[in-house]
Amino acid sequence: MKSYKIIYANHFGNSCLLLESLNQKIVYLEFNQLILSVETQELNSFIKSTQEIINLHSNCKCPRDFKNKMIVYKGNQMEIKMVLSYNQLLQLIDLLKGTVFKISMDDILKSYRIKN
């Protein structure tokens, strides 16, 4: 059985850190009835890809929930294509950025903790 800890959550989904991975940090992203397993290095690429889609459609004159947006992310070993509403895109970017922020803060705090 794999152990994990919840890193970040919002109304769209949550992210968990797999505790058994020794050499690399593996994050599970759970949203929209989907679970993705990604390395922490890929999270920043996923953020960039999602932000590009948001920027592309930010000038759209249509109602925010009216038109669905395609999000495409190509990682080292995977490609993700999803159709999300504009609000879901904003929640996804929050989930991704919140996850990266929490992991970074945990690493900083761990490096500066007082050792006995």
Residue 22: φ, ψ to 5°: -85, -50
Contact between residue 4 and residue 19 where contact means Cβ atoms under 8 Å apart: yes
pLDDT digits (tens, 9 = 90+) for 36-73: 888 888 888 888 888 888 887 777 666 655 566 666 67
Domains of the chain: 4-112 (2.30.31)
- In order of 24, 45, 105, the CA distances from 12 in angstroms are 26, 20, 22
The first and second tokens of residue 34, run together, are 């989907």
Q: What's the chain's average pLDDT?
A: 82
pLDDT digits (tens, 9 = 90+) for 63-81: 655 566 666 676 666 677 8
Q: Model's pTM, two decimal places?
A: 0.83
What is the pLDDT confidence band of residue 9, given thresholds at 50, 70 and 90?
Answer: very high
Percent of the chain with pLDDT over 90: 27
What is the pLDDT confidence band of residue 8, given thresholds at 50, 70 and 90?
Answer: very high
Choice between 38 and 98, residue whose per-residue pLDDT is larger: 98
Query: CA 79 to CA 24: how far, in whole Å?
Result: 20
